[in-house]
Structure 1
Amino acid sequence: MPNDNYSVRPATGADHATVERLWLMFRHDMSEFQGGLPHPDGTFRSERLHSAFHDAGWAPYLIMSGDHPAGLAFVRGLDGPVRVLNSFFVVRGARRSGIGLRAIKDIVARHPGSWEIAFQDANSGAVAFWRRVATEIAGDDWTEERRPVPNLPDEPPDVWISFKTLA
């Protein structure tokens, strides 16, 4: 899919339904790596979706390909010393087109400073993607570490990439 008609923008209240639908796709994809089934009504946990639109220090982004939604990103920690890419998703039809890398670069450029991004080792596509992102943005000046998942001691640790950008 060509991505020359690509854009990323802050999601507004008017985008909530679109982002919510993308969120369901994202949570479905993540269930392969994190387990978990939908709630009886077919939805997945959505506290991050709520926080992205309503909590201080959070920002939701909508990734577009022309007039079509192609993904989402939630950033938290904008009111603190470290920005965290809390959630990131690109629909399967837009993957491997460069749109994800472009979106991350755009979002990080909007919020210079220290960044952290978590992913799971079991998601081999994410492992390669996030290491490439870190290298594209920070060169060799990034770190990777494994951290326990809070309140889930039996889960494999998350992998966290950290880097810093300048204004």
Structure 2
Amino acid sequence: MELLSFPKITDIEEMFFKRMIENCDVISLDENVKRQAIKIRRTYGIQNPTSTGLPKYLYEMTKYYPDEMDENGNYHYGYFEAYFTEPARKAYLIYSGQNLAGFAMLNPHSYIGHKVDFVIAEFCVFPAYRRQHIAQKASEFILKKHPGKWEIKFNGNNLGAKKLWEKVTQKYNPAVHHINDDETVLEFSNC
């Protein structure tokens, strides 16, 4: 089976990427995953969506959600800048060694109208880094770093996300809310 790999970043993306790294807190996980050091970096300041891998993720999510492209063939995320300007929102970059392997975006906005502290709004590990336990270790790290009331939503057709979130939240005995035929919200506390 051939894994999808992403092309090398351009010089312009490299410039934004370097600036983004300069504005990060670096946190290393204690464990290695298949001999790869995993790092989570909280990002600050307005970032370039391309340097986070967001456009690739948005394209991949069109398998599950009917998002429209703009006239240039790009997908947009309306709240992207808010993750770098609103204190209640948090953005993390996930690294495998020196390579950007994914990202996570948190906010305090409930999908089901309940009082929550944190919601995983977006979470992605790029295809080349999947099946290496990176998503599990990164998500467990983020949950441990932020105790409180949580919600995690996933599309049931996204079998990888379904498996990940059910496994990671199992120890918290989450309440399961089916908000439509495809989407499920896991609600739990990790305090």
TM range (shorter): 0.7 to 0.9
* 1:69 partner SS: strand
Equivalent residue for 1:102, pick from 116, 131, 137: 137
Shift of 1:56: 3.3
What stretches of structure 2 of length at least 5 have no aligned partner?
1-32, 110-114
Report deviation, 1:143: 1.8
SS in 2 for 1:60: strand
Number of residue pairs matched by the alignment:
154
* Residue of structure 2 equivalent to 1:40: 71
User: Residue 31 of structure 1 aligns with which residue?
Assistant: 62
- Change in CA separation of 1:40 and 1:46 when aligned onto 2, cut-off 3 Å: same
Q: Deviations over 1:88-134 (max 9, x none)?
A: 00000001101101111111111101110001112122111111111
Percent identical across equivalent pairs?
22
Given the alignment of the two structures, is residue 61 of structure 1 paired with residue 92 of structure 2, yes or no?
A: yes
| Residues 81 and 18 (structure 1), Cα distance of their counterparts in 2 relative to 1, 3 Å cut | closer
Structure 1 runs not aligned, ≥5 long? 149-155
Q: 1:74 aligns with which of 105, 114, 127?
A: 105
Q: Does residue 160 of structure 1 match 2:160?
A: no
Aligned amino acid, residue 187 of structure 2: S
Distance 1:61 1:158, change over 3 A: same
Change (3 A) 1:8 1:21: closer
Q: Secondary structure at the match of 2:48?
A: helix
Listed one character per residue, the Cα deviations across residues 49-76 of structure 1 (whole Å, up to 9, x for unaligned) are 2221122310000001111100010000
- Could you say what secondary structure the match of 2:62 adopts? helix
After superposition, the C-alpha distances for 1:141-161 in whole angstroms (9 at most, x for unaligned) are 21211115xxxxxxx452101
CA displacement at 1:36 relative to structure 2: 2.5
Specify the alignment match of 2:154 in structure 1: 119
- Tell me the SS of whatever aligns to 1:70: strand
Name the CA distance, whole Å, in 2 between partners of 1:19 and 1:117: 24
Q: Does 1:130 align with 2:165?
A: yes
Relative to the length of structure 1, the TM-score reads 0.82
The CA RMSD measured in Å over matched residues stands at 2.2
Following TM superposition, by how much is the alpha carbon of 1:82 offset from its aligned partner in structure 2, in angstroms? 2.6
Q: 2: distance between equivalents of 1:88 and 1:7?
A: 15
8 Å CA contact 1:71, 1:88 repeated in 2: yes
Alpha carbons of 1:125 and 1:10: their partners in 2 closer, same or farther (altered >3 Å)? Answer: same
**Please, what TM-score do these two structures have when normalized by structure 2?**
0.73
CA displacement at 1:12 relative to structure 2? 2.7
Which amino acid counterpart does residue 164 of structure 1 have in structure 2?
Answer: S
SS at match of 2:36: coil
